[in-house]
Amino acid sequence: MSTLNVDTIQDKGGAFEHARLVQVQTTNKVDYFTTSSTSLVDVTGLSVAITPTNSNNKILILASFVVGVNTSGGYGGLMSLLRGSTKIATGDGTSAGAINDQTLSYVPTSDFNAFPVPVVFLDSPSTTSSTTYKIQLAAMAGGNSANVGGRGDGAGQGCHSSIVAMEIRT
């Protein structure tokens, strides 16, 4: 009987032939973010940068956070996922009008509760340049606020939030 022992198996380019996961970048956020803006704004600390090694590779984005809304008029909050300044993972904006026009998700108002928002999106950035993925948030009406990391009224702040970018070889 023969035994073959190896440390790695590589293709001609030096990579393991069957490896699909090339790299992982992550950002964790443990503080509270709030905005009263009715326009989408960057959520401080909820972004991740990755530099793809091949322009044909895909980037799998995973994010998890909670959103709360402090409102007096029954309005919620809107979120978007962006690659640089480009919105990705959007709806078509035609089925429900302005509520989800070109956004990732909508959170309703409900006695300041915090709603979990999971994000899973496979992107094709077609670049080998550093690329930043980020979450944006907006309140739907003036005088209200939308929050990441806790309830809409600020109680129970500091829920964990994260965003992960994984390069997948195609």
pTM of the model: 0.83
In the three-class reduction of DSSP (H, G, I as helix; E, B as strand; rest coil), residue 163 is classed as strand
Expressed in angstroms, the distance from the first to the final Cα of the chain is 37
Mean pLDDT computed over every residue of the chain: 83
Q: What is the mean pLDDT of residues 123-141?
A: 94
Q: How confident is the model at residue 18 (pLDDT cuts 50, 70, 90)?
A: low
Interval 31-58: pLDDT, tens: 989 998 988 999 999 999 999 999 999 9
Q: Report the pLDDT averaged over residues 152-170.
A: 86
- Report yes or no: 152 and 70 within 8 Å, Cβ to Cβ: yes
What mean pLDDT is predicted for residues 126-137? 97
Question: How many Cα atoms within 13 Å fall on the side-chain side of residue 145?
Answer: 15
Query: Between these two residues, 4 and 14, which has the higher pLDDT value?
Result: 4
pLDDT tens per residue, range 67-100:
888 876 667 788 899 999 998 988 766 555 554 5
Extents of the domains making up the chain? 21-168
User: What fold, for 21-168?
Assistant: Jelly Rolls (2.60.120)
Nearest-5° Cα angle at 63, 114 to 42 = 75
Cα–Cα–Cα angle for 100, 30, 131, rounded to 5 degrees: 60
Band of the pLDDT at 20, cuts 50, 70, 90?
confident
Both tokens assigned to 10: 């590589």
Structure tokens at 114: 């915090």
**What DSSP line would sit under 132-155, residue for residue?**
EEEEEEEESSTT-EEEESS-TTST
Length of the chain: 170
